Chain A
Amino acid sequence: MTRYLAGLITATAALAAGVWLMLAPYGLDYPSGGTALQVDMWTGAGVCAVALATIVVWARAWRGQLRADGLLPERPAAQAVEQAEPEQPAAPAPAVPTTEDLHSLLKPLVAALAADQLERTAKRHTEEDW
């Protein structure tokens, strides 16, 4: 934690110094158009840019570390995506016929075959009797 805090404090103080550098030429009445004015303005702008970038880097690093340690919840954006796409119900598994299904399917067929066989046998017996 120390390094994140130290980085943030340093960068924030530097940001304040950068802002002061940009205001100083007007506050201290620098001669207009002089080198000192340009040096302070450009250096102040550079300090502000570096300080802002450093603040962003340290803040992101600290947030990432807090997330990794489980002290911060996951990103709200990731949660929103999860909420926007509700879990689809699992697709029904392809129907695999069970033994009972096969029995019920074949039973009428077998019965019809048996009836047909009985009829033929009876007919044959009748012809033999004649």
Chain B
Amino acid sequence: MSRWGIAGVGLLFVIGVWLVAAPFVTGEQPDSATWTAATRNDVIVGAVLALLGFTGFFTVLAGHIADMYAKGPQPPAQR
């Protein structure tokens, strides 16, 4: 269950990165021109989303590992 949750948070980071790159990848924003409102919006929202995903991913991972430490050493898995 937690794996899907971690994957979801990681996916949000990926979507954020895509959103930052989207205006330039799709050619909507020429390199030399002033940024349009759409480009500004996409870059800002994408950056926020990527930051959220990044922070969330590592916070969730840290919580997961903290729980593992709290449980203590587990017996090795039987083959």
Contact = CB atoms under 8 A, between A and B. Distances in A.
A46 B45 CA distance: 14
A17 B26 contact: no
Contacts of B61: 3
Nearest to A13: B52
A4 B64 CA distance: 9
A17 B49 contact: yes
B59 A50 contact: no
Interface in B21-67: 22-23, 26-28, 36-39, 41-42, 45, 48-49, 52-53, 55-56, 59-64, 66-67
Interface residues of A, number: 37
Main secondary structure of the interface of A (DSSP, over half): helix
Contact of A3 (B4, B53, B63): B63
A65 to B, nearest CB: 9
A3 B67 contact: yes
A4 B66 CA distance: 13
A1 B70 CA distance: 12
Contacts of B60: 3, 6-7, 10
Contacts, number: 113
A127 to B, nearest CB: 90
User: Which residue, of A10, A21, A25, has the highest number of chain B Cβ atoms within 10 A?
Assistant: A10
B56 A10 contact: yes
Given A6-B60, A36-B23, A54-B8, A14 B49 contact: yes
Contacts of A9: 56
Contacts of B39: 36
19 contacts: A2-B59, A2-B62, A4-B63, A7-B9, A11-B12, A14-B53, A21-B45, A24-B41, A30-B37, A35-B26, A35-B27, A36-B42, A37-B38, A40-B42, A43-B15, A47-B15, A47-B49, A58-B8, A60-B1
